[in-house]
Amino acid sequence: MISISNVSKVYSLESGDFYALKNNNINIEKGEFVAIMGPSGSGKSTLLQLLGGLDTPTSGKVTVDGVELNALNEKERTLFRRTKVGFVFQNYQLLPMMTVGENIALSLSANNTSQSEIKSTVQKLIVDVNLEGKEPQFPSQLSGGQQQRVAIARAIAMKPRLILADEPTGNLDQKNGIDILKLLSKLNKEEQITIVMVTHDLQAAQIADRIIVVQDGLIIDEENKGGYRNETVADRMA
Ligand SMILES: Nc1ncnc2c1ncn2[C@@H]1O[C@H](COP(=O)(O)OP(=O)(O)OP(=O)(O)O)[C@@H](O)[C@H]1O
């Protein structure tokens, strides 16, 4: 489903080139639930942004669901993000002036889906994420856990084969956090949606099939342990 080959992301700073990610390789299978852990600043969000086509690598190849992201132009990348990937963020990123129903329908509307299909899809999604009756309300009228469920409904509206979640439980209390993890797990098991989730919470990561650790710009996992060395920030400057 996902293949990363010799991927680096370099930022040019006044002090020199800084490797947010340095020459990484990884494969994630279709239907896997993968947690990404690692210290602050290690490169986790950068990795997620590359997988979601929100950013491009400085070098190397990123392939997602058969699509080689490097080969896409800006327009194609936008279409890729809209149709192939569902994004879930720590701070939900709902549009405050839109109702729950309208937020969920966003990607459908952007994709020229008919009004009747949008209506029936939103109604089904509302039930799937257990938010019956909340459709006409605004995000500010919902709890954090409910807002995150709206964000997940929005993320899966286009039936993506991949969900990228950046700290989806980071703003939630334990109970709401667990509910969100259960919902993601259900989507993974029942719909075979591949999930890549960044988390700082080891308990949250336990729900995943595999934990990948990113440290100092290096992805470390079972296949990749040989590439690991304990780099300092200075090592990441070219
Ligand atoms: N636009 C940028 N310009 C320069 N450096 C950047 C830029 N974006 C990210 N970085 C650097 O790249 C490194 C990786 O950042 P990233 O956001 O991926 O870390 P992270 O592991 O997600 O951290 P956190 O857990 O705190 O969210 C950090 O050292 C960060 O300062």
Give the Å distance between the CA of 46 and the centre of ligand 1: 6
Residue with tokens 């334990």: 174
140 in contact with ligand 1, CB cutoff 6 A: no
The residue to mutate among 14, 15, 44, having the most atoms of ligand 1 within 8 angstroms of its beta carbon, is: 44
Distance of CA 138 to the CA centre of its chain: 24
Q: Distance between CA atoms of 20 and 103, rounded to whole angstroms?
A: 33
What are the start-end ranges of the E strands in 82-209?
Answer: 85-89, 162-166, 194-198
Class of domain 2-236: alpha beta
Give the Å distance between the CA of 47 and the centre of ligand 1: 10
Give the Å distance between the CA of 44 and the centre of ligand 1: 8
The vertex-19 CA angle with 17 and 21, nearest 5°, equals 160
Query: pLDDT grade, residue 113 (50/70/90)?
Result: confident
Atom index in ligand 1 nearest the CA of residue 46 equals: 18
Q: What is the mean pLDDT of residues 136-161?
A: 94
Q: Distance between CA atoms of 49 and 81, rounded to whole angstroms?
A: 11
Query: pLDDT grade, residue 154 (50/70/90)?
Result: very high
For residues 236 and 211, the model is more confident at 211
- Nearest residue (by CA) to ligand 1, atom 20, is 41
What's the whole-model pTM score? 0.89
Query: pLDDT grade, residue 160 (50/70/90)?
Result: very high
Domains of the chain, residue spans: 2-236
